[in-house]
Amino acid sequence: MVTVKHRITREANDQETEIVTSSGNLPCKEIIHIVGCSSPADIQQKVLSVLMLCENLTFSSVAFPALGTGQGGANPADVADAMISAVVEFSSKKTDHVKNVEFLLFQSSMLADFHQSMLKSTKSKNSLTSRIKGENILFKEIEPAVFQLCSETTECLSKASAIINGLINKE
């Protein structure tokens, strides 16, 4: 059995910027691995490159974490702007397959940054929604949700947190 790590190590070279592997036990078809980056310009280019690869592979959807915000130390607001800009640029191209782009944010503090970036994008003339013509576009502004849990014991707090996370993941 070839592991994802082994396959990436074996296949990586200086020319490849993306490597596609099986998803293992994750609930998706495949995983696209990219070299980490932290500058907004590099992040925008990598997101656009992955979107084009997904289009070429006839994927209908793709999900991204907030690139470069972990060990890369990039400013989440700058990352949000770069990633949203890449999606706007991608949407201006003739594409038939990729219809759904999701951002997976693991820190609640980044929700506001991505929300603001999306709002800025929808207000500009080159926005994502102004570039798509002849299709039904559903846009619903949703306020970020923040949960603050209080409990007398750590055990009860952990149980409540697990229940909430389970409900969110099920949704």
Q: What is the pLDDT of residue 1?
A: 36
Confidence band, pLDDT 50/70/90 cuts, at residue 170: low
Kindly report the pTM of this predicted structure: 0.66
CATH code, 91: 3.40.220.10
- Count CB-CB contacts under 10 A for residue 75: 14
Whether residue 170 lies inside any domain: the answer is no
Domains identified in the chain, total number: 1
- Count CB-CB contacts under 10 A for residue 159: 12
69, 76 in Cβ contact below 8 A? yes
Confidence band, pLDDT 50/70/90 cuts, at residue 126: low
Whether residue 40 lies inside any domain: the answer is yes
Mean per-residue pLDDT, 102-107: 86
Would the pLDDT of 135 be above 70?
no
Q: What is the pLDDT of residue 133?
A: 43
Of 138, 141, 49, 146, the C-alpha closest to 98 is: 49
Domain span at residue 68 reads 36-135
Q: What is the pLDDT of residue 141?
A: 54
Q: What percent of the chain has pLDDT over 70?
A: 75
Mean per-residue pLDDT, 117-130: 67
Whether residue 77 lies inside any domain: the answer is yes
Whether residue 43 lies inside any domain: the answer is yes
Whether residue 163 lies inside any domain: the answer is no
Q: What is the pLDDT of residue 124?
A: 62
Q: What is the pLDDT of residue 94?
A: 82
